[in-house]
Amino acid sequence: MRMVLISDLPGNSTAIEERVFAKVNARIHVAERGDEPELLDLVSRADAILTCFRPITAAVVRAGEKLQVIGRYGVGTDNIAVDTATSLAIPVINVPTYCVDEVAEHVLAFLLALARGINRYDRAIRRGEWALNSAAPLHRIAGSVLGIVGLGRIGLALAHRARGLGLEVVAYDQSSRDVARAGFEYATLNGLAARADFISIHCPLNEQTRGLINARFLSAMKPTAYLLNAAIPSSPWRM
């Protein structure tokens, strides 16, 4: 019987995993801690690895004598030693459509809350303050400019939702042609920073994007603009 090693879970139940892998004569083994020493101890018996946040380091990949595939519960793969896996002809797979709608809606909720002072009104009311100006300044959504850095699946989903609320959308991506094909206006990175009232980041973390939002970008922003970062790395632990 094959064995699938799960370094860590996005939820509390393994019912779906057990049902799916039973169809291919495989069992799952969930690591207790998911740190490198434990994974090194377990991976020699694994045919596959599933990971959510825990790092699958180069040492773990090399120790997987039977490894046939490494999968990620999510989009990013920066917590996996992809180069090492590639050199050993081990495929690394992810879930490109994971939480596209959820993240786009979450960012839109932040944007609305910030613009309309929802959280500030909430705190004021809890203090017994009912004045209309207790959440000032408030901003009109319609006609504001939303700058999106990274017009992939999530960025595009946010762009369409924002346009429906009357926001003007400009986007920065690796390809200005892709932005135009999607039906949105392209802007340079610093041009976007200077123009947008709200900026939402949706690019993956890699060597090209690390430090993309730097001091120059921040200094180019309007003093009244909001920066929303939905491009967190897939792993809170360093490789």
Read off the CATH number of the domain in which 179 is found.
Answer: 3.40.50.720
**Range 152-175 average pLDDT:** 96
Residues 122 and 170 reside in one and the same domain: yes
Reduce the DSSP state of residue 113 to 3 states and report it: helix
73 and 121 share one domain:
no
Asked if the structure places residue 239 within a domain, the reply is: no
205 pLDDT higher than 70: yes
Residue 238 is assigned to a structural domain of this protein? no
Same domain? 156 vs 64: no
Q: At 226, list the tokens.
A: 């909001």
Owning domain of residue 38: 2-93
Check whether residue 77 and residue 120 sit in a common domain.
no
Residue 3 has pLDDT above 70, yes or no: yes
Interatomic CA distance for residues 201 and 213, integer angstroms: 9
In the predicted model, what is the mean pLDDT of residues 1-7?
96
Do residues 156 and 39 both lie within one domain?
no
**pLDDT at residue 238 in the model:** 40
Residue 163 and residue 84 in one domain: no
**CA dihedral defined by 112, 115, 118, 120, rounded to 10 degrees?**
150
What pLDDT, on the 0 to 100 scale, is given for residue 235?
Answer: 52
Q: Are residues 119 and 214 in the same domain?
A: yes
> Which pLDDT value is given to residue 11?
84
Is the pLDDT at 113 greater than 50? The verdict is yes
Residue 78 has pLDDT above 90, yes or no: no
Token readout for 94 is 């992810």
Beta pairing partners, 148: 171, 200
> 93, 124, 156: which is the final residue of a domain?
93
The conformation of residue 80, written as its DSSP 8-state character, comes to B
60 lies in some domain: yes
**End residue of a domain, out of 93, 115, 135:** 93
User: In Å, what is the CA distance from 175 to each residue of 12, 149, 165?
Assistant: 40, 12, 26
Rg (CA), the chain: 22
Q: Is 4 exposed, middle or buried (0-12, 13-18, 19+ CB in 10 A)?
A: buried
Mean pLDDT, the chain, integer: 93
Residue 206 pLDDT exceeds 90: no
Q: Total domain count for the chain?
A: 2
Whole-number Å distance between alpha carbons of 227 and 41: 43
97 pLDDT above the threshold of 80:
yes
pLDDT tens for residues 24-56? 999 999 999 999 999 999 999 999 999 999 999
The answer to whether residues 49 and 67 belong to one domain is yes
User: Who contacts 41 (Cβ-Cβ below 8 Å, separation ≥6)?
Assistant: none
Q: Is the pLDDT of residue 214 over 90?
A: yes
Residues 61 and 179 both lie in one domain: no
Angstrom CA distances, 166 to 142, 195, 226, stand at 4, 16, 17
| Angle value at C-alpha 71, between 68 and 75, nearest 5 degrees | 150
Which residue did the predictor score with more confidence, 48 or 209?
Answer: 48
Contacts of 25 (CB under 8 A, 6+ apart): 1, 2
Q: Are residues 213 and 107 in the same domain?
A: yes
**Measured distance CA(156)–CA(125) in Å, rounded:** 36
Residues 33 and 8 sit within 8 Å (Cβ to Cβ): no
pLDDT at 233: 60
Which residues are bridge partners to 199 per DSSP?
147, 227
Last residue of a domain, one of 33, 60, 93: 93
Cα dihedral sign for 136, 137, 143, 146?
Answer: negative
Sheet with 48-51, edge to edge strand ranges: 26-30, 2-6, 48-51, 69-72, 92-93
Quick check: is 206 in a domain? yes
